[in-house]
Amino acid sequence: MDSFDEDFHPGQCNCIQCSCSDCDSTPLLSATQRSKGSDSKSKQNASAHSIHQQCPCCARRDYLPVVQEGPFIQTGPDVVLRVTGMTCGGCLSVVEKTLRDVAGLAAFRVELKTQTATIFGVVDGSKAVKALLEAGFEAEVIETRLATADADDDIKTVFVLDSPTPSLSPGRDSIEMDDVRPEDVRNASFRVDGMTCASCVAVIENYVSSLDGIKSVSVSLLASKAEVAFDPARIQPQAIKEAIEDVGYTAEPLADAQPGDLTLTIEGMTCESCVSTIESGLRHVSGVRSVSVSLLANSAVIKFDPALVAPRGIIASIEDFGFRASLKHTDRGGIEAYERKKEIDHWRVKLFQSLVFSVPLFFLGMVFMWIPAIEMPLDTPVYKGLSANIIVQLALATPVQFWIGLFLYRSAFAAVKRRTGNMETLIALGTTAAYGYSLIGMLVAVFDDEFKVEAFFETSSLLVTFVLLGRYFENVAKGKTSGAITALMKLQPDTAILVETTPDGKVEREIALGLVELGDLLKVLPGAKIPTDGTIVNGRSSVDESMLTGESIPVSKKEGDTVIGGTINQHGMLIIRASRVGADTALAQIIKLVEQAQTSKAPIQRLADKISGYFVVVVLAIAVVVFIVWLAIGLSGYFPPDYLTEAPFLFALMRAISILVIACPCALGLATPTAVMVGTGLGAKNGILIKGGEALEAARGINGIVFDKTGTLTHGKPVVTDVVLVDETGAVAHSRSIVDPGATDEPVVDAERDFWHVVGAAESGSEHPLGRAMVDYCKAHDWQLSTPSDVEALPGLGLTATVADRKVLVGNRKLMQEMSVSVGTEVDQKMAVLEDDGKTAMLVAIDGRLAGVVAVADTPRPEAASVVRLLTEMGVDVWMVTGDNRRTAAAIARQLGIGNVFAEVAPGDKAEFVKRVRAENSPHGKRSVAMVGDGVNDSPALAEADVGIAIGAGTDIAIETAGIVLMKSDLRDVVVAVDLSRKTYNRIRANLVWAFAYNVLGIPLAAGVFYPINQFTLPPVAAGLAMAGSSLSVCTSSLLLNLYRKPTV
């Protein structure tokens, strides 16, 4: 048997079919292939994908290149160790690192679940056992076996050899990815457990971003989530997961369910034959790609093509086989709430355990000393120089230090291993110093009966207790800040009532919401939640949409209207046709947007993250300097013996411990994400979707807003605004301005009603928008219109029609002139006034005589003028851009109080206009511009602005070019979006100021800077309490945003 070449040369890759640019074509086999041999090229190709994922060039994992192929290869003996003490990914990483450092180990595999480590190719595992024992784990050899295999063996073990650690380059945040096309970049989400402060975030981001193929990394401390953009040709999600675990944290991929993924619960299976029946049967169903059935879990995972088969069809097939199947219910909101509750309960139990020991310690060390009747018996020596008080304190403090506080050491050890630090590093050092000093004092007293022991066991225990107290309240507060997503998830019902047509008539049955398909007819009972987005095909009701749009008044719905899933049907029964299901519904998109927003980072957070990266090292340096300075002062002899309140060494040690304890990077790490989470959640409750910290920060700084006119400042469709009746002499007989075209309680004289019956009937045969506006006005008043005849549209003029044997003309002056209809001076002047107001005036003639004038216009929204006024008061300059003519644009601008108007701008030129506005100087400073439009025609302009605001999105909220999406067509939400962004940003700034001020003031106080002035010192216990309060205060400050009230417009 030929030997293996184990050398790996940088820049070369031995993957089979690897697509990396630096790879050559030398094949490389995994342990599976090496043990089985590779006697055929087909075996290599069949495993190419899995091998490529573990390539040293792609995923930083070295495999042994096979030089010679053969049907039989002996791999040598294997040793299996039981490794006790592994509890998390950090422990797993430590064990792997320990085994890598043991000389002579070729390859190994560590499994957290089974608490085992398998070492391949060795006979003696004693070196590995010794190394693991030294690393703090219990290890023993439980099995030694000879691992030989031939080509027919089914060996599934794939193990990793030397795993080079990616080096961190100073100042380097990410790999250059300019050669990767945007469409080739993939995104992956991971749940990350074990993070406690901003330093943890910085470590993960710096480490993962150093990997080849990583485009960007964003880690959220609050959401315990990492979002990674990567090039799949260079790195795979599994390698990213391993990289996160390499630095001491646990990571699990968060895979979104794909449209073709289905998980079912199956009842009635009793044996493997049942499993085989279902699997083989489903494989013959058209569209089913793969089936995996578990007898123990009573479940099936099925991948299918939605274009060929639907979930209900798959379930029906399983039931035809004689089993019962149902959609496996996964309540994301409930799961997240449970995970949060579990974490809170964990810290609550830890806190209670610590209090059981720390409260007695507090009385023994800090209270009883002031009560002579109790102090004297407790201080009586019972063994050499040791008193009962000291011995009891040691017994109480030890469990707190090394059992309850074990998490501090684990986290600190993981940080040291990766050559960095975190909050746990500081606390572990501080508590160990206090505990160690006390223990050393006890040992000295054993040999010197005259030595007076000064113990600080209560200090170390109370510090651990205060850390747990802060961690508990911090998690409670973090749970409240993320309540918006949980509330949104609970809006969706679990089931829907499906209405099916059968030969026996219509049949109703309740199905799981996940089984609803496009086009399904669904019944919605009064008071029930609407299951999915759809269109009403039967019924009339009012729908409460406040939970999604923030609109407090129920919205009337009738046949043809759209409804949103998750909203509540008020009083009427509805039949709807599903138009969007699953991840395409408005509610699902809202949840996705809010999740993305709450895991994104505001630019202002970069400063805090940068500081956190150096924070621990700086604090350690300060503590060492302070210790040396105070020790030198105490031993110098330049000050009176009683200048220091304690012995020099003890005084210096207490000051150093206070510095280590009071310094807290957590407040810096929580300052921004907690405020962003609450602010974006508040926006979502009001129908305002802010897409993350960057959009929020951009919105708070805008000092200019460009409004599109049509559909934004105006209703977007023409309505009747004025009617003028003309008598037989050609003079104006009646004139009325219509305030609300949809109102039916306006007084209408008989002559006007007769006029409208004729005009409405004539226009009912027209498809022109102006004609439809007149017909809609008539329909709003429930006027019955007769059917016209001889309808003829005259382009550029108007139309002619016959209504009840009367010849009707509706059009402009030119039509009247061609038809020889006289228009008097008074009527002409009236038309000029209407046209100066931006309205389109149309003349009406009946039987050759002028009968009246109808004015139609795209009217401003009723709230538009007050919104413009309020924005101006807020220091925001307002522009209006439109493709309409200058006279119409000027008229609308006058009504709204807008001084900056740009008319006759083509849709494609609006982006260029926004660019010009951004380049102008502003009296309020650097010009920062928002563009408000409909998100469809205005997409280029929205993208060009500093922040795009899409208004009236309704169910179409996935507008890529908009940083803020307003679900309602209410301009007041623009003001709310700007105001909420400013309030949230101010809260972020206040949080950061407090976090910085806390450390800037707290560290000097702990260092004893003011001691020469007033002999004031901050004891370590007080420093620990302050540290616990710092994070809690930041979270509480962010939660105060929930008191936000929308500005009155």
* Annotated catalytic residue within 708, 722, 884, 970: 708
Give the pair of three-digit tokens for residue 363: 């009385």
The runs of H, that is alpha helices, within 513-600 are: 546-549, 586-599
Strand partners, 233: none
Q: How far is 759 from 856, CA to CA, in rounded Å?
A: 13
Residue 491 to residues 482, 534, 586, 814, 975, Cα–Cα distance (Å): 15, 16, 12, 58, 27
Q: How far is 949 from 974, CA to CA, in rounded Å?
A: 8
SS3 call for 278: helix
Q: Alpha-carbon dihedral of residues 865, 867, 871, 874, nearest 10 degrees?
A: 110
Q: Dihedral of CA 944/945/950/951: which sign?
A: negative
The residue behind tokens 């009603």 is 753
Element (H, E) at 843: strand 840-846
Q: Dihedral of CA 813/817/819/825: which sign?
A: positive
State how beta strands 324-327 and 381-383 pair: unpaired
Q: How far is 1015 from 1010, CA to CA, in rounded Å?
A: 7
Task: Look up 162 and say whether it is catalytic.
Answer: no
Element (H, E) at 579: strand 574-580
Q: What is the 3-state secondary structure (H, E, C) of 369-383?
A: HHCHHHHHHHCCEEE
Q: Is there a contact between 893 and 899 (Cβ–Cβ < 8 Å)?
A: yes
In DSSP notation, 388-430 reads HHHHHHHHHHHHIIIIITHHHHHHHHHHHHTT---HHHHHHHH
C-alpha closest to that of 220 among 682, 680, 676, 663: 676
SS3 call for 225: strand
State how beta strands 225-230 and 186-193 pair: antiparallel
SS3 call for 725: strand
State how beta strands 929-933 and 704-708 pair: parallel
Return the amino acid letter for 244: I
| 728 CB-contact burial (10 Å; exposed 0-12 / middle 13-18 / buried 19+) | exposed
Q: Is there a contact between 1031 and 669 (Cβ–Cβ < 8 Å)?
A: no
Q: How far is 192 from 253, CA to CA, in rounded Å?
A: 9
Q: How far is 544 from 548, CA to CA, in rounded Å?
A: 9
If one counts every other C-beta atom within 10 angstroms of the C-beta of residue 143, the result is: 12
Give the pair of three-digit tokens for residue 23: 């790879």
In DSSP notation, 287-338 reads TEEEEEEETTTTEEEEEE-TTT--HHHHHHHHHHTT-EEEEPP--HHHHHHH
Which residues are known to be catalytic? 708
